[in-house]
């Protein structure tokens, strides 16, 4: 049995996401196309796709050679749609899905309302208003030969991490945090410091890739630390993480005592302000350089691209090795991979 699959990833992290997807047995990727989308054919067990940590969500896809969505209400096509949904439902325990949601241009047209109603009746699911457990998308096929129907493989997006029991405004997207941790080239011997750890996303995603010799998170906001404690505990990592109320501008750490610094810096929108960033960034990057050993690495994400560039120009101890522009749903921060040089 083979299935057409569409994997949605943060645009800008396509190469990392493709490399991860290539590790999944039975998954054959189409040549790279639109940014943020990986199309593929799956010949292996579908649950293997639930392990994609760079992915936002994964959909089962089928193209229908029909001129208009109305044709989906016809018996043959409607049964094919139900079969797609059953394929997805069979991957999960009974009653995992309670509501359904259809995302489509014209989802409130009479035809698509009827389509949703028929689906809801046949599947025994309520129609959700905003989102649903069972998410379907309908769109014209890119080559205009018909219409594509997509069914999300999981009741929640893969980006919604099971360990996240405490959320905070400005918390980093799980797949982006995972990608940042990968960019640090994790090793078991790493002494990792996450400055401005907030709810703990980067630390948790780093440790879920593999062990570290040390993992410290620090933040000046006690509520952020309390949130990080809860998430770290939910991830089963409490005994591996040290959370501290340290100021990233003045760390009680010895010079060159850290191998990897990770940070999701205040962008100045939801967290912090541009005015405070003007002094925070230079002080934080200078202090991070002090505690990082020569040859060590820092992976930062920030929307303050010009400020980062200006600050790095004044701090030659950091050599920029890679920069990735990421699409965070209309916000385009940049990931900076920096090497601590002598
Ligand atoms: C963008 S948020 C990090 C969000 C985090 N990645 C998450 O997923 O929840 C930036 C964090 O930096 C912290 N912060 C700001 N100034 C700081 C400083 N001088 N020292 C340590 N942390 C600081 C803020 O309290 C905030 O939690």
Give me ligand 1 centre to Cα 225, in Å: 10
Is the confidence at residue 131, as pLDDT, over 80?
Answer: no
Query: What's the token pair of residue 230?
Result: 């809860």
DSSP codes, 34-84: STTEEEEEE-S-GGGGGG-SS-SEEEEEEEE--SSGGGGGSHHHHHHHHHH
Query: What distance in Å separates the CA atoms of residue 326 and residue 87, rounded to the nearest whole number?
Result: 33
Indicate the CATH number of 3-152 among 3.40.1080.10, 3.40.50.970, 4.10.95.10, 3.30.2130.30: 3.30.2130.30
CA of 195 relative to ligand 1 center, distance in Å: 7
- Domain assignments of the chain as residue spans, ordered by start: 3-152, 174-340
Provide mean pLDDT across the span 4-28. 97
**Dist CA 254 CA 118 (whole Å):** 65
Does the model's pTM come out above 0.85?
yes
Using most ligand atoms within 8 A of CB, pick from 175, 220, 285 the residue to mutate for ligand 1.
Answer: 220
The two beta strands, 134-140 and 292-302, are unpaired
Minimum CA distance residue for ligand 1 atom 3? 198
Confidence of residue 271 (pLDDT cuts 50, 70, 90): low
Between CA 11 and CA 18, with CA 12 as vertex, the angle to 5 degrees is 85
Mean pLDDT of 88-103: 95
Contact 293, 259 (CB under 8 A): yes
Residue whose C-alpha is closest to residue 201's, from 153, 271, 284: 271
Q: Report CA(198)–ligand 1 centroid distance (Å).
A: 5
User: Is 121 a residue whose pLDDT tops 80?
Assistant: yes
Q: List residues near ligand 1 (CB under 6 A).
A: 168, 170-172, 195-196, 198-199, 201-202, 218-221, 224, 247-249, 264, 266, 271-272, 280
284's CB contacts (< 8 A; 6+ apart) are 195, 196, 248, 249, 263, 265
Q: What is the number of the ligand 1 atom nearest to the C-alpha of 272?
A: 15
Q: Is 282 exposed, middle or buried (0-12, 13-18, 19+ CB in 10 A)?
A: middle
Q: Give Cβ neighbours of residue 221 (< 8 Å, ≥ 6 apart).
A: 198
- Taking only the tens place, the pLDDT of each residue in 187-218 is 999 999 999 999 999 999 999 999 999 999 99
**Which of 266, 270, 274 has most ligand 1 atoms within 8 Å of its beta carbon, as the pocket-test mutant?**
266
Interacting residues of 278 by C-beta distance below 8 A, sequence separation 6+: 307
Nearest atom in ligand 1 to the alpha carbon of residue 249 is 19
The highest-level CATH class for domain 174-340 is alpha beta
């Amino acid at each position: 049995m083979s299935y057409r699959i569409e994997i949605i990833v943060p645009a800008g992290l396509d190469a990392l996401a493709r490399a991860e997807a290539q590790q999944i047995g039975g998954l054959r990727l189409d040549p790279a196309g639109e940014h943020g989308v990986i199309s593929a054919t799956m010949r292996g067990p579908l649950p293997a796709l639930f392990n994609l940590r760079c992915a936002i969500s994964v959909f089962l896809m089928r193209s229908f050679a029909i001129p208009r969505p109305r044709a989906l209400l016809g018996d043959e096509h409607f049964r094919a749609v139900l079969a797609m949904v059953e394929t997805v439902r069979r991957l999960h325990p009974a009653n995992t899905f309670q509501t359904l949601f259809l995302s489509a241009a014209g989802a409130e047209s009479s035809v698509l309302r009827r389509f949703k109603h028929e689906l809801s009746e046949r599947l025994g699911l309520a129609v959700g208003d905003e989102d649903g457990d069972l998410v379907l998308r309908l769109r014209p096929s890119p080559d205009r030969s018909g219409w594509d129907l997509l069914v999300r493989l999981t009741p929640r997006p893969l980006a919604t991490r099971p360990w996240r029991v405490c959320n905070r405004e400005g918390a980093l997207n799980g797949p982006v945090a995972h990608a940042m941790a990968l960019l640090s080239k994790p090793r078991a011997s790493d002494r990792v410091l996450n400055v401005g750890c907030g709810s703990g996303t980067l630390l948790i995603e780093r440790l879920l890739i593999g062990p570290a010799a040390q993992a410290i998170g620090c933040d000046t906001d006690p509520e952020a630390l309390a949130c990080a404690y809860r998430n770290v505990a939910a991830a089963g990592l409490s005994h591996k993480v040290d959370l501290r109320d340290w100021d990233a501008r003045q760390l009680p750490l010895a010079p060159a005592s850290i191998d990897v610094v990770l940070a999701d810096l205040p962008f100045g929108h939801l967290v912090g302000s541009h005015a405070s960033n003007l002094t925070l960034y230079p002080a934080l990057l200078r202090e991070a350089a002090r505690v990082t050993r020569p040859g060590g690495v820092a992976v930062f994400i920030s929307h303050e691209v010009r400020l980062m560039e200006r600050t790095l120009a004044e701090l030659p101890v950091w050599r920029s090795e890679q920069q990735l522009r990421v699409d965070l749903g209309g916000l385009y921060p940049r990931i900076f991979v920096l090497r601590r040089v002598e």
